[in-house]
Structure 1
């Protein structure tokens, strides 16, 4: 359950009444959920990280990674190691990633401090740490970690505090010494000359204690073990202002509040007039690709001034890095932005980051809201906050605090527990769902998936930057999706939306993930007689190709982008994929459509498969097979009599599946082999 506001109360009687019917259905599916090794390993990893941290879940469920953070990290590691991963590798990756993300600023030894005594943070950084309330930006890296790794990715964000401003002796080069609230080390930055005017010792903004954000930095490490790392100049530098500080408030009022978007005059712009604007960041768009060969990137940020007028602020090329310093809801002060005066209509005006532009930011402090931990969370996950077998004793509802934006949407990206369909409500963001695809709808390049878990099903609308990019996906496949947002349709039904390029968005198809099949820790090996349409999670079996039952091998053409079959009449004829709606120019290859009986000691299953999976089972490529004489093609499957395979298998006719988009490669088989690897014996 979600409380609409901090003042709303969830009455125990209403809560139990609403959950009663749901819990009856959950009771029937609980054993199946508990048998999913992937879910078991997430819970095991979470408990292990709690032990490492020295905290218990009863103390504070937010002291360790959220369920979705762990699931994301496990699956990303599986993508990186296609040959499979061990529990030790997974736990090591999780521990290292979590420690890196949540550094507490434990004292380290600086290369310049050889005394053996740990460095202490300066007093003003320590004070700043106590009042620091804004959310940590994505890709933020600590100064301590720069010293440890001696490496700095270009996209890294540094949230720093100026510890000192000085000029290198004998030069006019201005340097800033930077610290951060998580580190005990400091690091020097060569200040870019476009910011020298605000580093003036007498009246400049860049003084001790000033917070700044920077990205696009290159690290310079001097030769030798005693070399001290320094940051080379970067243009992607934003100064933070505080409206509660008198100096900053006067600066904003005097310099940025006189102009508004509606006061822009193209004639004045053409004559060289400059402007300064103060506006709220309403939306940060995805990276767009432009240019003849798709070599130029652009990112558009929607700004709203005090009059409610909207204008886009465009970043081009490497400038897109600056967007990682922004957050929706923050106030952006733009001094001397470039205005394209070639545009005629005022509503098409666009601001750009020009050579004289300087940026100042008043970060938003996120509102927070208390959210009740739903009964389903406690029942499935066996949370120690609420024992499902003892519902009549102790507190029935536990709460966690999550950030909330100005529109009332609550961010669930750091929700400690797994999100279930039955618990979803309107105005939720950062949702993660683990379930089965029971239907796919595709129309004019727009895609919708029906995702089902043990508590229910919901439609998710997928928005891609260009076109379908998820590879083969079909009914019965097990998927994990993060970065979803909920909304009510005009008919008041709840649906989800997913945008490919939004922060925190990910999509993993476990049924087609090779490392998942190669990692026994994450799946349970089933006999064919144990397969069930009710089984949750990706199903894996050890089988052989049966030569007695029907086997049909057909060579067809496949769209390599989405993995679905297309009709190709002639080599020079353009083909449109009926699944993703894309013209398959240069994206078609010869493949198999295979219908085959697989067997083990307990039974047989008639299944279909296409593409690489079919080639793996047949141990031959489609091109090679096509050149075989017809008699050899007919007899070929009999050569596989002794071959055994590990296969991931999905049911395409799950109970409750809807009749939506019918794939062109739809088979009469109820089962699909989604991935196969040959057993090494």
Structure 2
């Protein structure tokens, strides 16, 4: 298949609209930076939005407007988001802040980072947001003893004032760390919005602030040498008096991960490695987990006076293992890791698949590659890759990968645990990926033939030289959207092309949107079964207990009655025998399972007969690659599944 045709063969009008939106944003201009193309000519080409980012933003709009979107709505949302990301400083502000900032090494922008300009524009600041800023000024609020910091950042033309939390007052003064030019990172912030007659918006005090250090600066290097090189993790004493010793540690962040909640309290652990390769866990509890937003793997953490205690494991028991906690006297400094980068060439498939739309990529060597960030393990982050990544493009040491395709199988790895396997196919091949959830399956109903978008994938080579693809829930950049079940897809003419039923056999690897009439339905083709609320799959009785056919777990609660419906649909071009379940079946029948069961048997047949010739807009997926074990029930199902339906008025 021609690559240009293959690009839209599996996604149809949806992917065509994404490409159109990307081209519109690219043509709107940009100043070109590390996100643009590396060119051996006169400079970088205009910046192009990452393909995965564009898909995620379109889907975000679809979820926000379930009744449907227009091209104008989506493009407006995209342009606003892209403009916010691309906003640069005025020359005056850029020169001023560049002089203030000491950090020479380029570092990666943290997830959830917001700009000061966006805070002023939205008049809102989420506690989970991260602010990476430089101190412009330190002053005392007139008539009080309250210290204020004026903060700026490298992406904004405006500044904002922060009420300094009193735990940092000792760091103010001629020899204090908090002074003009010092970089800080904050989270857990709340905004005191500007009101009439009360001046500008200000940030209320937050105790979750870290001070950034630079080992290349003499002042910072002396602080690290004098205060943080005395103790190692192995030097900690085991006695109860250990917290009487003013320990300070300097260690590298190896891992950041969530722990099982303890007594309903959220926990996170940061695994630290010191210069002797000794490891120690730094545990954050409750609201403290916000502090982890300011950390990144590979960065150095300087911990002054952490609280030392025994680690509490998942069995809610204390062990003899020591760990560190964020106490009332603890101060945290961070030496950010310099961002490593790698030149990644565009593959012929990726360039050709863009067809004539890719006006910014010429046929010669100009703009033939992109610069992407690389982590400590040599893995390249593809979350900002400008083009779509196909299955055939996957290789070792890729993270942040986005894929768009059709599901060919999905199952649980074992009866216990939270790991599932999902097989996805696009126009270039099939890939098996491992999905690792924190808790139960959280994607809702997902079936063979459904068209999905998934981001945050990691590719690694196993010891047996097999490429392994994995996905972890709630990792930064992780997203899964089942387009086949998306209500907005039926109501958004810019995201679909209406297809006649006669087209279905020709393109089997996409979800079709069709306008049909209900041709035939009867009592024999309708079943009322028990479905699992979490995943939408049939619940069976197994050894006297109710067990989900998909999750394989006992589900005595969290179940509800639902329909499994076989029906014949038709339009002017053809008739198709199909099936549907759950809310889609309810949409066809226009009655709930409980209401249907209350009808006398003779009235049920009469009721179903009255539904014939009703008109619907439907989404139809091909399930021909489904294996027997993936069927909704023991009875064989038709090839075509109606994944979404809406009655036409």
Q: 2:311 and 2:193 mapped to 1: Cα distance?
A: 45
Quick one: which of 267, 289, 292 aligns to 1:323? 292
- The aligned counterpart of 2:303 is 334
Q: Does 1:628 align with 2:594?
A: no
What does the per-residue CA deviation read over 1:407-449, in whole Å, with 9 as the maximum and x for residues that have no partner? 1101000000000000110110000000000111212342111
Secondary structure of 2:599's counterpart equals: coil
1:609 counterpart = 2:585: no
**Contact (CA 8 Å) 1:377, 1:383: kept in 2 or not?**
no
| Cα gap change, 1:468 to 1:79, in 2 (>3 Å) | same
Q: Please tell me whether residue 646 in structure 1 is matched to residue 617 in structure 2.
A: yes
Instruction: Assess, with a 3 A threshold, how the Cα gap between structure 1 residues 159 and 590 changes in structure 2: closer, same or farther.
Output: same
Partners of 2:302 and 2:11 lie apart in 1 by: 54
Partners in 1 of 2:536 and 2:218 — Cα distance? Answer: 60
Partner of 1:461: 434
CA distance in 2, matches of 1:324, 1:357: 17
SS state at 1:625 partner: helix
Normalising by structure 1, what TM-score? 0.87
* Residue 101 (structure 1) aligned to one of 85, 93, 96: 85
Match of 1:400 among 366, 370, 382: 370
Output the CA distance in 2 between the equivalents of 1:264 and 1:342.
Answer: 14
Specify the alignment match of 1:284 in structure 2.
Answer: 256
Whole-Å separation in 2 of the counterparts to 1:666 and 1:290: 44
Contact 1:483 1:502 in 2 (8 A): yes
SS across alignment from 1:322: helix
Among 167, 171, 181, which residue is 1:194 paired with?
A: 167
Distance in 2 between the 1:259 and 1:346 partners? 23
Corresponding position of 2:411:
441
Post-superposition offset of 1:146: 2.2
- Equivalent residue, structure 1, for 2:487: 514
CA distance in 2, matches of 1:90, 1:288: 39
Matched, 1:502 2:480: no
Q: How does 1:124-143 map to 2 (within 5 A)?
A: 124-126=97-99, 128=101, 131=104, 133-143=106-116
**Partner Cα distance (1:249, 1:495) in 2:** 42
1:587-620, Cα deviation, whole Å (9 max, x unpaired): 1001111111111111111111111111111111
Partners of 2:103 and 2:214 within 8 A in 1: no
Q: Within 5 Å, give how 1:153-302 maps onto structure 2.
A: 153-199=126-172, 201-225=173-197, 227-267=199-239, 269-270=241-242, 272-286=244-258, 288-291=260-263, 294=264, 296-302=265-271
Q: Specify whether residues 335 and 660 from structure 1 end up closer, same or farther in structure 2 by C-alpha distance, changes over 3 A only.
A: farther
Aligned position for 1:37: 13
Query: Could you tell me how far apart the structure 1 residues matched to 2:54 and 2:582 are?
Result: 31
Q: CA deviation at 1:33?
A: 2.3
For residues 269 and 71 of structure 1, do their structure 2 counterparts lie closer, same or farther at Cα, with a shift above 3 Å needed? farther
Superposed, 1:274-673 pairs within 5 Å as 274-286=246-258, 288-291=260-263, 294=264, 296-341=265-310, 348-382=321-355, 394-395=364-365, 398-442=368-412, 443-444=414-415, 445-532=418-505, 534-547=507-520, 552-567=525-540, 574-654=545-625, 661-664=630-633, 667-673=636-642
Unpaired runs of 5+ residues, structure 2, are 38-42
Query: Contact between 2:310 and 2:321, CA under 8 Å: does it hold in 1?
Result: no
Q: Secondary structure at the match of 1:348?
A: strand
SS in 2 for 1:449: strand
Shift of 1:156: 1.7
Scaled by the length of structure 2, what TM-score is found?
A: 0.91
Residue 48, structure 1, aligned to residue 24, structure 2: yes
Question: What is the CA–CA distance in structure 1 between the aligned matches of 2:49 and 2:320, rounded to whole Å?
Answer: 45
1:222 to partner: Cα distance: 5.0
Q: What CA RMSD, in Å, does the superposition of the two structures yield over aligned residues?
A: 2.8
The whole-number CA distance in structure 2 between the counterparts of 1:169 and 1:335 is: 32
- Alpha-carbon offset, residue 513 of structure 1: 0.8
Rounded to whole Å, the distance in 1 between the matches of 2:311 and 2:50 is 49
CA contact (8 A) 1:409 1:429 kept: yes
Contact 2:45 2:360 in 1 (8 A): no
The aligned counterpart of 1:149 is: 122
- Cα 1:441/1:37, change in 2 over 3 Å: same
